[in-house]
Structure 1
Amino acid sequence: MTSPTPPPPSSAPSPAGQDPHDHAVRAASFDRDADVYAQVRPTYPRDAVAWLLPRGARRVLDLAAGTGKLTEVVVGAVAAGTEVVAVDPSVPMLGELSARLPDVSTREGTAERIPLPDGSVDAVLVGQAWHWFDAAAAATEIARVLRPGGLVGVVWNVRDTSADWVARFGDILHRGDALEPVEAEPRGPELGAAFDAVEGATFRWSDRLPPARCAPSPARAATS
Structure 2
Amino acid sequence: MTATPELPDFVPASNQGGDPAVYEVENAALDREGTLWAALQEAAPWVGRTLLDLGAGTGFWLPRYADAAEVIAVEPDTRLLDAARARPGDARVRRGSAERIPLAEASVDVVHARFAYFFPHPRWDVRPGLEEVARVLRPDGALVVIDNDTERGEFAELLVRSDAAADQGQDTYARRWWADVGAETREVMSSWTFDTRADLEAVLRLELPADLAEEWLAAHPEATSLTYGYLLHVWRPRG
What letter is aligned with 2:50?
A: R
| TM-superposed deviation, 1:105 | 1.5
Whose strand proportion is higher, 1 or 2? 2
Give the 3-state SS of the residue equivalent to 2:199 in structure 1: helix
Q: Which runs of 5+ in 1 are unaligned?
A: 1-13
> Counterpart in 2 of 1:50?
41
| TM-superposed deviation, 1:125 | 1.4
| TM-superposed deviation, 1:110 | 0.4
> Is this contact kept in 1: 2:46–2:110, CA < 8 A?
no
Post-superposition CA distance 1:5-55 (Å, at most 9, x none): xxxxxxxxx6xxx8xxxx979535443322322222454521121023246
> Counterpart in 2 of 1:169?
158
> Counterpart in 2 of 1:156?
147
> Counterpart in 1 of 2:25?
39
CA pair 137-176 structure 1, distance change in 2 beyond 3 A: closer
TM-score normalised by length of structure 1 = 0.66
What letter is aligned with 1:201?
A: R
> Counterpart in 1 of 2:190?
205
What letter is aligned with 1:170?
A: L
State percent identity of aligned pairs: 29
Question: Larger relative CO (CA 8 A, sep 6+): 1 or 2?
Answer: 1
Where in structure 2 are the equivalents of 1:180-219 lying within 5 Å?
Answer: 180-181=168-169, 183=171, 186-187=174-175, 190=178, 197-211=182-196, 213-214=199-200
Moved over 6 A (4+): none
TM-score normalised by length of structure 2 = 0.62
* Total equivalences in the alignment: 188
CA RMSD after TM alignment: 3.7
Where in structure 2 are the equivalents of 1:9-158 lying within 5 Å?
Answer: 27=12, 29=14, 30-41=16-27, 43=30, 45-54=36-45, 57-73=48-64, 75=65, 78-79=67-68, 82-129=69-116, 130-131=118-119, 134-158=125-149
